[in-house]
Structures are given as structure tokens and as C-alpha cells.
Structure 1
């Protein structure tokens, strides 16, 4: 009997991950590449996806011909943008089948094993993904800088603003402002040149610095983090108001922001059952009871 395979892909703003399994859910190979947000364009997105898939196949020591027997689930950041799905549909992927969703949808599927529930992703950006009565919908996540409250990019943007104001003398210099402006040699023209090219990921790279200084007691850093925590609190309140039975925090920034939330908020949170790639494999058609 010809063996079937399942491939899950999580294509986000920071990286693209792939996980290849057999029909029993046993992991055979994985791949990791760079950013794969739909903003980079269909051609660049396809190249990144192909690279992640090739790495997973190589890790599994399988030939590309098995892709014709592989069922694929892809969660792609920004796939809701106009024309992205059409662009992907026009590509010539050699898969047995392929299903697409946003990266937040597969993360929510993985977190709750396909059941009703919600997640709040706090990473480079932020978005709440909810499933109620089997219906999926998102809250927020419209993109930086108009959205993504409580995210790493939002923290970084606030820190850069503070550093520039401190250099102007419009606000007091603090250890945080000095640490941020030091990246630009304390020169405003260099900061402006950086901002002209900076991506959300570049701003998010400053977030750990903000968190470190907030934990150390820097007054401005604390105010930035407290503001982010308030946005997170409101996200979680809205999630439950919209009917979700539970909520899990996910994303690289989540562990650092969690201690800044109120105890009553933390008490309402649960731990995710699985990750986004688990959800992508469910999207591909892998039995949710399989050990992924």
C-alpha cells in the first residue's frame, strides 16, 4: 500500500516552520526558515515555503516525489490580504491536497485540539483567535502600527519614541532611553535613517530591552509595559465576552508579559494542548487524536 504523509506549515512574520509526519502522526522531519508573512509577496513567500518543505524532506531523508502523496495544511500570516489566496491557488504545489488558513487559526486549532477556545498571540504582533460553536473569528491583528497592541513591535515603538523625546530634552533620560539611543550613537539622524527601513520585526527586537528595564524598575519602561498589559487584559476580557470557554496565551512575548497581568486574569488562562504546527497538521487532515 502506498504510504501517505502529512505536512504542517506555520508561516509567520518571524519564521517559517514545517513538520512532516506519517499517517500515524509520527514526526519524520522538520524545517525552519526565515519570515514568510504574505506581505513579502507571493514569489518570495513561495520560495520560503519551498525551502522549509525541502528542509523537512531532507531531515526525514525522503525524496520530493513523496509530496504527491502528502496532505498539507498551511497557516500563513497575512493570508487574509486581498489577492494572497488567489496567488497561492495559482501556484503549482505538487501535493495530494492543500488547505490554507491564517497562522492564528492553526495556532488556535493546536492549542485546543480543534475544540472551541481562544488564544491571544503576543509576539512580533498581536491577535486573538477565537472558535465558538465551531466558527472561527479573529479580534485585532490588523497590522503594525495601527494595531498589534501589547506586542513586541508596539513595545519597541514606544521605546524608540521615548528615546527620541529624551534626546530632545522633552522628557527625562532613563536607563531605557539611553540603552535605546545607544543603538543609534545617540544621534537622531541615525535613528531616523533606521526608522525609514525598520520592519515590525526590527521594532520587536527592542522589546526584550524594554522588559529587562521594566523588571529593573525603570519608570518609563514600566509605564510602557503596564500600558501593554492593559491592552492584553482588554483582549482577554473581550475574548470571554465573545463566548470563548477558555483562553491560552501564546507567542514569544507571552511569558514575559504574563507576570504583569492581574491575578484574576491569569486565573482564567489555560495552558495550550499543542502548538501551531499541531494545528496545521489537523488542517491537513491528520487525525486530531494522533500524537503530534
Structure 2
């Protein structure tokens, strides 16, 4: 196996880190976008504590450095851009910025902001994240704009968790005879052995992620024409539409849907809004290296 291609000494390198709640990824690139090395680590969200967050970030970037064949002596020519889930938590950004680092420069942002930067290759634009939760993010003339995303169940409209909560709620209505039973609602009830008390016990400890496990069930039944499932998808799409239009009203020149349910939800949006949506130019890792200061580059299709 050949040795990694090492960039000549003195040339600036760019480190991007995507620190999420399920894992952390790092990538080192040259100014022209050539990837030299990658690294991974465990969760890096601030909810796990700043020390654990930084430990995951450091593990990931050190892995990328090692794969690139770079040493400690090279760190001084690395500019770092780090996206972190939960950086908006009180005191989190200040705590991260206070940690000593070996880089030429370091910039922090939320994981959503680096996803937005990557989606539009550093240009102005917005994204609507549709996954377990939902959130609208835009960067316009250097200003960050957020719509929604304040956490389930008070926010995250149109998300997987939103679909799951409403599916369980409708199933309870069907159990009472207050709503016509459908194949979807029967499958939800079967999950609880058709016993409402089991649903109540589950609810007491259920998280947004638990509710979101019902989302694929809703999508599947909607595709099969189930009226309850289609109603839920239409309601969720209405919420996502509201987030999209809010970003457009605030000046976002272009939008992209991202997240596990993004492509599914796009098909339920009105035609005029679908025409305003575009494909992602890149992902959060691309956004992180742009945050670090690397100029946008065109990736091969």
C-alpha cells in the first residue's frame, strides 16, 4: 500500500469536523479540495459535556491527520472549521472557544450551519432539515437565520417524531371508536398489543427518536393509499412548507431539503415550492471546510 500523499510544508491545509449526536467525522483537505485524510470518533454533541465533546473532536481530527501522514509539526498550518450539535446551549460556544488548540485558526458553528454551507457550496441559501426533528436554517450575507427546531414536542413540526406522535394519537382515537380504523392505525395498535395502558407506559419514557420509529410505517402506508397515513403526511408537509416559506420570506435565495425524510417530504409539497428547491451541492463535511476558510470548489458530479 502506498504512503499517503503529503502536502508540501508551508501550504495551508483545511480541517473540517462534523460533531453530531451519533458520531463525529473529520476531514483534511488542500486548498483545491483534495482530501488527504479522514477520521471518525464517537458522539460529539455538547449535551454529553464539553470535555467529552472535545475529546471526540480531537480523536476524529487526529485520525484524519494520521491518515494524511501529517505530524504535530503540521498543525500550525491547519485552519479548522468545526460544526457541533448543541453549540447553542448556554455557555457551550464560549467553553469550546476557550479550549487551547494547535491550529492556525479555528471557527465553530452549529452542525446545521455547516450543513447549510455545504448544501450551497458556501453561497447564500437555506436548508430545511427533515429527520427525527425538523429545523430551517439559512445563511444570508453572513447572517444566520433559524426557523423552528426548538425541540420535540414543542417544535420540530413535520418531522419523524411529529409523524410518530400523531400516528400514536390517532391510533388511540381509533381504539376508542372515535376515528375509523385503518391499516396504519391497526399496525400502531399492534405495536402496543392493542392495549392503551401499554402505550401509556411507553409514552412515559419515550424520546423523540422513539416516536420517529413510527415514521417509516406512516410513509409506507401513505404510499399504499391508507387515508390516515395520507392525512398525516399532508399535515406534516404543511408544516415543512411553512418552514420553507418562512426562510424564503426572510430572503433565502435558494433552498434544499436534507435529512432522512427530506426526499420523501418533497413529493408532498406544493408544485410551486418544489420548483424553488434544489439539490445539495455538498454535505456537512464540505460546509465544515468552507467554515475553516477553504474557498468553495466544484466537486465532480
Question: Normalised by the size of structure 1, how large is the TM-score?
Answer: 0.87
Question: Which consecutive unaligned segments of at least 5 residues does structure 2 have?
Answer: 1-8
Q: Where does residue 216 of structure 1 map in the other structure?
A: 224
Structure 2 CA distance, aligned partners of 1:34 and 1:55?
A: 12
Task: Give me the whole-angstrom Cα distance separating, in 2, the residues matched to 1:279 and 1:179.
Answer: 40
Q: Is the 8 A contact 1:13 1:201 kept in 2?
A: no
- Asked whether 1:79 is paired with 2:91, we answer no
For residues 195-224 of structure 1, give each alpha carbon's deviation from its aligned partner in whole angstroms, at most 9, with x where no partner exists: 333332232232112111111112221111
* 1:20–1:130 Cα change, 3 Å: same
When residues 27 and 59 of structure 1 are mapped into structure 2, their CA distance, relative to the original with a 3 A threshold, is same
Residue matched to 1:132: 140
Tell me the distance in 1 between the aligned counterparts of 2:67 and 2:188.
40
5 Å-filtered alignment, 1:166-177, equals 166-177=174-185
7, 28, 39: which one pairs with 2:15? 7
Match of 1:203 among 204, 211, 235: 211
Could you report, residue by residue, the CA deviation over 1:238-261 in whole angstroms, capped at 9, with x for unpaired residues? 222112222121222111111111
Tell me, what secondary structure is at the counterpart of 1:226?
A: helix
1:99 is aligned to 2:120: no
Change (3 A) 1:130 1:190: same
Q: Is residue 32–residue 297 contact of structure 2 (8 Å, CA) maintained in 1?
A: no
Give yes or no for contact 2:130–2:261 (8 Å, CA) kept in 1: yes
TM-score, length basis structure 2: 0.85
In structure 2, what is the Cα distance between the partners aligned to 1:165 and 1:61?
A: 61
The worse-fitting range, judged by mean Cα deviation, of 124-133 and 218-227 is: 124-133
Distance across 2 between alignment mates of 1:119 and 1:11:
18
Q: What stretches of structure 1 move > 6 A for 4+ residues in a row?
A: none
The residue number in structure 2 matching 1:144 is 152
Q: Equivalent residue of 2:122, what SS?
A: coil
Q: 1:251 aligns with which of 259, 266, 278?
A: 259
Q: Partner of 1:266 in structure 2?
A: 274
Distance in 2, Cα, partners of 1:34 & 1:179: 35
Larger radius of gyration: 2
CA root-mean-square deviation: 2.6
